[in-house]
Structure 1
Amino acid sequence: MPVDAPRAPSAPSWYTTSLPPPAVRPPLRGRGRADVAVLGAGYTGLTAALALAERGFQVTVLEAGQVGDGASGRNGGQALVGYGCDPARLRALLGEADAGRLFDFSRDGLRRLKQRIARHGIDCDWRDGHASVALRRRQVRALRAEQADMAARHGYPLHWWDRDRLRQVLASDRYLGALYDPAAGHLHPLAYARGLARAAETAGVRLHEHSPVVRLERGPRPALLTAQGRVDADFVVLAGNAGLHGIAPELESRMLPVGTYIGATVPLGSERARALIGNGMAVADVNWALDYFRLSRDHRLLFGGLASYSALPPPGLRATLARRMRAVFPQLADVALEHVWGGAIDITRNRAPHWGRLAPSIYFAQGFCGHGVASSGLAGDILAEAIAGQAQRLDVFARIGHRRFPGGRALRRPLLVAAMSWYRLRDLLW
């Protein structure tokens, strides 16, 4: 593991303990051949593999661990429209027309996520609704402006709830109002990843676990090499995100793995859980260092939001998460966090998605910036379209300019930690 890769807690997530043991898939041994070789069995890689197999391609997926071991199986589970940066940033990067297209693509990505769950019978606890909540007056103004902008530019309906309306469904006095999106929602991320893997295998995809790729062989007929084998292909898809680890240095220099952390309470019982979030929606505040939370099917509160830009878990992680949870819900003073876990998300300098081609036969997608439950599936669909000869949507993303993180491998984290300290201070002061 590179020296600057975030170190996640060794404890398993609540997601792993809430599901039956996973299917066992053999590692790659020897030499294989495929139309498309995919690095990574997360949402992007699995969705691309499924879409390509349904088009008649022979696809092999190589996963370093097990399906969903990365961010796809450890995230907060909130599925939203848009990307990791706000629409104004995309307009600055691409112009009005292309930024509008990207929003339309993301809306389609959320719709396709729900269709995929239904079509393949994936039992992943989907629930409708997401609220972005404000703690300060400036955030109220920003959310109201976002509501108006989404309606005017995109015809996208968001609902403003004042403090009294929000308090009807959210038992916290911390927030001044909310922007509610009924089309967004949340799911069990690991159950969704495993469901995608089953759907892909049913479509004919070959999936090898415990097969970390050690080298990408470039050229007109690229190959992915592991310690025990290789897959020669016509096309390669790099969907490792924060876990590329030296495979493509030009991608890694434009992406930084950041640690993020979640806790799950003990079961609260249905009555006490419903008293916290009456409509079952997911919630996130709009601070730079945000909190987000939702209920699980077995009536736990899942609460996350800490981030580590230093490559080390925050000190006193469990106690810090519990303190933040009780600031939102003081009525949980007697409730413990039974599980605490973390993982790495991939961020770009501009927080915009970084999708495109390294070469005519090598495709990639990264830079989901903590906003990937819906957009990573969109990326998989768009990469599959491009490989099948329909590259119009990928070409829009490829026009986004991405710069390397300053400081190189030695200094890029210290510089980012300093910058993030300013944003956290802003959250506290105004």
Structure 2
Amino acid sequence: MTAYPPSWYAATAHTAPPRPALDGSVDCDVAVIGGGYTGLSSALALARAGHDVRLIEAAKIGWGASGRNGGQAIPGLRKGAAELIDQFGEAPARALNAIGDRARDHFWDLIARENIDCDARRGHVQAAAHPADMAHLRAEITAYQRLGGTGTPVIVEKPDLPAHIASAAYHGGLFDPGAGHVHPLKLALGLATAAERAGAVLHEDTAATAISGATVTTSRGQLRARTVILACDGGIGALAPDLARKVMAVGNSIIATEPLGDMAAKLLPSDAAVADTRFVLDYFRRSADGRLLFAGGEKYLPGAPANVPAFVRPHMLRVFPQLKDARIDYGWSGDVTITLSRFAEVGRRGDVIHAHGYSGQGVMLGCLMGTLIAEALAGNGATFDRLAALPTPAFPGGALLRTPLHVAGMLWYALRDRL
């Protein structure tokens, strides 16, 4: 069986039962490709709706971004309320904003309903990296309230920030009690258990090699279905080359310090997760065992740095110089996918439904997506269709130039972060 790449998540996740590879040809109602949040939430929602569901995962459940991400559960569609109003006008923005609120409520309800033990904690701070960012955060709350948002985000002025973050690096922030953080691999494994409890059958070490109509071919058999859910995010590759051109993989690196004892609570007194306002952002949180989990650094290509701790540590020390003597116990990387518009790429083509490219918002939105897909298959697809209508153009440049052009753009925004 495939083993998880080393990480603090893999070292502390629950022991999962082996899930055998698909062997032979099987008929089912729904074939799900991908064992991340989108695929697992789809398997759960569709099995609960009475469908015969089979899910295949090329490696192990939660192998990709769903088991390696920063664990930050943030509502919304990546673009804030003010940007939605500017781009679409107030009425469409109100409907899109409501999807973000629904994803938030669904997420916490899902964890409670399915009794998923994933170290879930509420609270998130968006920290202002520059003084001018505070005006943007205030405007965002005003726009969110204008759209009828049901959350209760509040501004944290700089003198009050030590209640959340023991760092001089920031100039205030926005605190959202409806956001939070989780152990991402535990969340994925908990979703898998819930899906199996609902009647779905899950197969690991089973890579899809082709899709024809609603038939999924693997190296050891086929799934003959009525509907296929394509939920493999950055692994979409040759299964749908035209969709693959709409996403770009970006490297994500995280370190975990040694257990910090009382220092952990001093660094982050409210136990809120934190992400700053830079385009190339730093984000961090406390772990359940008192470590600091910190992600940062400017890497614009997929794949891991040669030495993850050495790559990320300087960014951690810029925020928390008091950790200069702290040991780094774990360092790992993974790829997340973004779209050019930063909206998720969602749609339906014949018997195949796809959803991927969450651009950093996949924890809550990916967990909602299964419910939206189940609604669409039941004939109530208004919310799914609203997301599917969002613009997600292909990255420019073709196979040879798309990555260099993207890197050039990221370098420009990284330069702006420093100004």
TM norm structure 1: 0.94
1:182 counterpart letter in structure 2 = P
Partner of 1:294, secondary structure, is strand
Per-residue deviation, 1:93: 5.0
Q: Secondary structure at the match of 1:394?
A: helix
Would you say the 8 A contact 2:251–2:333 is kept in 1?
A: yes
Q: Which amino acid aligns with 2:319?
A: V
Q: Give yes or no for the alignment of 1:350 onto 2:328.
A: no
- For residue 306 of structure 1, report the CA deviation from its aligned partner: 3.0
In 1, Cα distance between the equivalents of 2:186 and 2:247?
A: 27
State yes or no: 1:263 paired with 2:255: yes
Aligned to 1:107: 101
Aligned equivalent of 2:184: 189
The equivalent residue for 1:317 is 308
Distance (Å, rounded) in 2 between the aligned partners of 1:126 and 1:374: 12
Choose between structure 1 and 2 for higher RCO, CA contacts under 8 A separated by at least 6 residues: 1
* Other-structure match for 1:408: 398
Please say if 1:41 is aligned against 2:35: yes
Pairwise CA distance, 1:115: 1.0
Show the counterpart of 1:369.
359
Report how far residue 96 of structure 1 moved. 2.7
Residues 134-192 of structure 1 show CA distances to partners (whole Å, capped at 9, x for unaligned) of 12122111111112211222244211111111113321111110100011111110001
Residues 78, 343 of structure 2: 8 Å contact kept: yes
Instruction: For 2:283 and 2:195, locate their aligned partners in 1 and report how far apart those are by CA, in whole Å.
Output: 31
Q: Is the 8 A contact 2:285 2:293 kept in 1?
A: yes
Match of 1:297 among 280, 285, 288: 288
Q: Using the TM superposition, give the Cα deviation of residue 92 of structure 1 relative to its aligned residue in structure 2, in angstroms.
A: 5.1
Once the two structures are superposed, the pairs formed by residues 373-412 of structure 1 within 5 Å of their partners are: 373-412=363-402
Residue pair 1:94, 1:399 contacting (<8 A) in 2 also: no
State how 1:131-150 maps to structure 2 within 5 Å: 131-150=125-144
Contact 1:293 1:303 (8 Å CA) reproduced: yes
* CA gap 1:352/1:88 in 2 versus in 1, 3 angstroms: farther
Offset at residue 315 of structure 1 (A): 5.4
Structure 1 window deviating more from structure 2 (40-49 vs 144-153): it is: 144-153
* 1:338 Cα deviation from its structure 2 partner: 0.9
Q: By how many angstroms is 1:11 displaced?
A: 5.0
Distance 2:29 2:184 in 1: 28
Aligned to 1:244, which of 236, 242, 245? Answer: 236
Q: Equivalent residues in 2 for 1:104-253 (5 A)?
A: 104-155=98-149, 156-218=151-213, 222-253=214-245
Kindly indicate whether the alpha-carbon contact (under 8 Å) linking 2:32 and 2:231 is maintained by their aligned counterparts in 1. yes
After TM superposition, what 4+ stretches of structure 1 lie above 6 angstroms from structure 2?
none
Question: Partner of 2:297: helix, strand, or coil?
Answer: strand
Separation in 1, partners of 2:33, 2:81: 30
Structure 1 stretches lacking a partner, 5+ long:
1-9
Do the aligned partners of 1:258 and 1:307 also contact (CA within 8 Å) in 2? no
Range 362-371 or range 395-404, more displaced? 395-404
C-alpha displacement at 1:89, in angstroms?
Answer: 4.2
User: What SS is found at the alignment partner of 1:339?
Assistant: strand
Distance 1:80 1:246 in 2: 31
Count of residues paired in the alignment: 415
CA distance in 2, matches of 1:275, 1:191: 26
Aligned to 2:410: 420
Distance 1:13 1:102 in 2: 35
Structural RMSD (CA): 1.5
Does the residue aligned with 1:132 lie in a helix, a strand or coil? strand
Amino acid at match of 1:243: G
State, as a whole percentage, how many aligned pairs show the same letter.
Answer: 41
Whole-Å separation in 2 of the counterparts to 1:277 and 1:212? 41
1:76 equivalenced with 2:67 (yes/no) = no
Superposed CA offset, 1:245-273 (max 9, x none): 2101111011111111111011111x111
Letter in structure 2 aligned against 1:313: A
Distance 1:88 1:152, change over 3 A: closer
Alpha-carbon separation, structure 2, partners of 1:417 and 1:191 = 33
Report SS of the residue matched to 1:31: strand
Task: Tell whether the 8 Å contact from 1:262 to 1:342 is kept in structure 2 after alignment.
Answer: yes
Which amino acid is the alignment partner of residue 180 of structure 1?
A: F
Q: Secondary structure at the match of 1:131?
A: strand
- Separation in 1, partners of 2:5, 2:388: 38
- The 1-side partners of 2:298 and 2:215 are apart by 35
The letter of the residue matching 1:255 is V
8 Å CA contact 1:310–1:414 kept in 2: the answer is no
The whole-number CA distance in structure 1 between the counterparts of 2:297 and 2:378 is 40
Mapped to 2, the partners of 1:289 and 1:304 lie a distance apart of 11
For the pair 1:67 / 2:61, whether they are aligned, the reply is yes
- Give 1:71 shift: 0.6
Distance 1:42 1:235 in 2: 18
* SS of residue paired to 1:341: strand
